[in-house]
Chains A and B, each alone.
Chain A
Amino acid sequence: MNGDADARLSSSFRLLEQSASTIAQRTDLLFTAMLVLCGVMALGVCLTILVFAVRYRHGAKVERGNIGRHLGLEIGWTLVPLVLFIGLFTWAAHDFTQLYRPPANALPVYVVAKQWMWKLQHRNGRREINELHVPLGQPVRLVMTSQDAIHSFYVPAFRLKQDVVPGRYTGLWFTATQLGEFRLFCAEYCGSEHSQMMGRIVVMQPAEYARWLGSGAEQPSLAQYGFARFRELGCSGCHAAGSTVHAPSLRGLLGRTVHLQDGRSLVADENYVRDSILLPRKDVVAGFEPVMPSFTGQASEEDIQALIAYLREGAIE
């Protein structure tokens, strides 16, 4: 992810004035191609109708008569669109898959949406409300959940959108390619002040961003906060190495394959950790009793995000 290459890319093609992410370029290219294709199609049909309507209007002196079958034409205008559509689908699908493959070095930012505001927290603990500061040219990965209704994180300049759903995490990643401020909208109707749930993304030079990040009020990093909650909520009582209770080890949990009691296995991700904390009977690990209590009502969304940050980065015995 070379900043210069991205800057060159970003100036090469844009549909709208603001084309501020690596993905925006590709989206704009496909959109323009479709615009041309659809425009040709629409104009073609409309012009043909107009030409026929004028030429064959009743009373005009022109040859008329019944038209017979023309199977070749019918098959032709069935197959040609079919091929075109498959091509368009493939192009769009390919670009789409990129949206769900964040690079390994993406900076995580944790987002909690609620009526009617965005709460964001950087890894070092710095919090923001309705604003997100990010560095230019660095992939950023958002881990998002909602506290109430479904919202949707939409940045038109990035051409990116992802619904934010209560009860689970959804993700969005991007690499910003333009400096400046870009609008953030909520794009899923969520009640009275849906249209005012706006914010902005502020893209800064990496050095400036680092300065900004360190300059907030002194606070523990997300992982440190998570560690504090880990103890306060009593998690270490069972999951620490010296505990007398037989509980699964959490070392290196995220990304590890977990084998469950009923024979299934899954890869532990953020949603798995969240479910384990709130609905511990859902996916019990093989070889363990389902004795873990639920922390619904005790652990807030921010707590859970902090716990996840701790599990990902903290030194766990």
Chain B
Amino acid sequence: MNANAAAREHPHYAGGREPPREIGQLGMWVFIASEILFFGGLFVAYVYGRSHWPNGFAQASRHTDVVLGTLNTGVLLTSSAVIALAVACAESPAFRRWTARLLWLTAALGVIFIVVKGMEYRKEWHEHLFPGPGFELDAGGAQLFFMLYFVMTALHALHLAIGIVGVSLFAWATGQAKSWAPPRRIDIMALYWHFVDVVWIFLYPLLYLVERHS
């Protein structure tokens, strides 16, 4: 191929300012891979605990608030759908003006999740379920379960909070038509948001649904 055509193929020599979408997306996927391994250590600890203290884990799991947890799951799933819509709108000339509103809605749903989580934490604090000297569930492994519950959900909430900030920034930038918020970047933000949602989808059954059939 001739030198000019080759140069146009390579982003650093193409002369334009927009790098191809694939670069940012691949970057986000690699980051997500590292985050999976980050949460992975906690999942390993959970598997270890559950296999050594099946009774304790089952008992402890019944003390999580399944109503609030299920509500939160619905909130997060909805927010994922909303952000997916926002991305679609960003890329469609007809519905572009809805993008900012949908992004704000996504962030708002994220905030609702965090508020509900805070309510759960408050309830669990009053029920003496925080690990430490005041812990009141007397079953082997129950304290370990709650340690993992708090660490895993807190870590998830931290990631969600980062997502909320990011999505809000993009919502604002889109509303102001800033140049640093093109559709490809909103797409990458949405990828992160979906990842946070997927982590919750794994956490929810492990933390709320153990032995609830009775």
A-side interface residues toward B, CB under 8 Å?
Answer: 261-262, 279-282, 284
Contact = CB atoms under 8 A, between A and B. Distances in A.
Nearest to A284: B55
Interface stretch (B87-95, B136-144, B169-177): B136-144
B43 interface: no
A284 B54 CA distance: 11
Interface residues of B, number: 9
Contacts of B121: none
A287 to B, nearest CB: 15
Nearest to B56: A281
Nearest to A279: B140
B139 A281 contact: yes
A279 B140 CA distance: 6
Contacts of A281: 55-56, 138-140
Contacts of B141: 282
Contacts of A282: 52-53, 55-56, 140-141
A281 B138 CA distance: 8
Nearest to A293: B138
> Could you say which of A279, A282, A284 has the most chain B C-beta atoms within 10 Å of its C-beta?
A282
**Top 4 A-B residue pairs of the complex, sorted by shortest distance between their CB atoms:** A282-B140, A281-B140, A279-B140, A281-B139
User: Majority SS of interface residues in chain A?
Assistant: loop
Nearest to B142: A281
User: Majority SS of interface residues in chain B?
Assistant: loop
Contacts of A261: 55
Interface in B51-106: 52-56
B214 to A, nearest CB: 14
Given A262-B55, A280-B140, A282-B140, 14 more contacts: A261-B55, A262-B54, A279-B140, A281-B55, A281-B56, A281-B138, A281-B139, A281-B140, A282-B52, A282-B53, A282-B55, A282-B56, A282-B141, A284-B55
Nearest to B139: A281
Contacts of A262: 54-55
Nearest to A263: B54
B127 to A, nearest CB: 19
Contacts of B138: 281
A282 B54 CA distance: 8
A280 B139 CA distance: 9
Nearest to B52: A282
A297 to B, nearest CB: 14
A281 B57 CA distance: 12
A281 B56 CA distance: 8
Nearest to B53: A282
Contacts of B52: 282
A284 B56 CA distance: 11
Interface in B107-143: 138-141
> Could you say which of B52, B55, B138, B141 has the most chain A C-beta atoms within 10 Å of its C-beta?
B55
Contacts of A279: 140
Contacts of B56: 281-282
A261 B58 CA distance: 13
